Amino acid sequence: MEQSSEAKQGQEKIRVLVVDDHELLRHGVSAILNRSPSIRVVDEAEDGQQAIEKCREHLPDVVLMDIHMPVLGGLEATRTIKREHPYVKILILTASDTEEMLFDAVKCGASGYILKSASPDEVIDSVRRVYAGEPVIPGNLAMQIISEFAKPAVPTVRQQVDPLTDREMQVLRHLSVGASNRDIAAALYISENTVRNHVRNILEKLHLSNRVQAAAYAIREGYVMEPPHDS
């Protein structure tokens, strides 16, 4: 399935920028990713400022971003990159999954995080998933983040958004319970590619950065899908 969806995109590899101030870890992650036939590391950066500059130069598909770095930290770099290149997916590299900054990273536009202790297969799979538009956030932390966003942290955008179509509202309701593209496609009898397009349109219309923010918006505005009976 992954191979066929990648083939549809013209056999182009997922272009990745790896950002971390520890040279050994940076090179190690790059080596792991370059072993995958579907991924190519286009460059590395050792701080947030370099990450911003190299994003402008290479326009990568995915950025693996450390949080704590000299010169400019990962949160500030994430905020700038998402403002300049909204469709670049950012995956946070972190040593701890309890770090409160992960909430801020999602608010800045990151699509999830991966532990630095993750296995090579997990690193590769996370990059593929985030590139496909899937959030890479474990269930326990995802619910905490969504709860946090359901508070006033998500801007009141109802007055300034474009109206969603009926189908987009169905997709949004599924997002509110953390459904994947595959789950939504099966429930609504549409293709995963169509789901991706709907999600992209929803984010644009609601002026949100990622699926987690969309789920929180749905909860806060009362668009939550009722238990299993929606299809």
Q: Which residue has the higher pLDDT, 91 or 99?
A: 91
For the chain, where do the domains classified as CATH 3.40.50.2300 start and end? Answer: 2-137, 145-220
Q: Taking 50 as the threshold, does the pLDDT of residue 151 lie above it?
A: yes
- Among the four given CATH numbers 3.40.50.2300, 3.60.21.10, 3.30.70.2660, 3.30.360.10, the one describing domain 2-137: 3.40.50.2300
- Across 96-133, b (16+ Cβ under 10 Å) vs e yields eeebebbbbbbbbbbbbbbbeebeeeebbbbbbbbbbb
Residue 120 has pLDDT above 80, yes or no: yes
The pLDDT value recorded for residue 8 is: 41
- What's the CA gap between 230 and 207, in Å, rounded? 26
The class level of CATH for 145-220 reads alpha beta
Given a contact cutoff of 8 angstroms between Cβ atoms, the answer to whether 181 and 199 are in contact is yes
Q: How far apart are alpha carbons 44 and 51 in whole angstroms?
A: 8
8-state DSSP, 68: S
What pLDDT score was predicted for residue 48? 95
Instruction: Dig out the tokens for 125 from the structure.
Output: 């799979």
Whole-prediction pTM value?
0.66
Check residue 30 and report its DSSP letter.
H
Strands across the sheet containing 14-19: 39-45, 14-19, 62-66, 89-94, 112-115
Over residues 137-142, mean pLDDT: 63
Rounded distance, CA 34 to CA 38, Å?
A: 8
Q: Rounded distance, CA 101 to CA 122, Å? A: 22
Mean pLDDT along residues 192-213? 85
- The amino acid at residue 215 is A
Mean pLDDT over residues 117-127, rounded? 92
Say how far apart CA 107 and CA 210 lie, in whole Å: 9
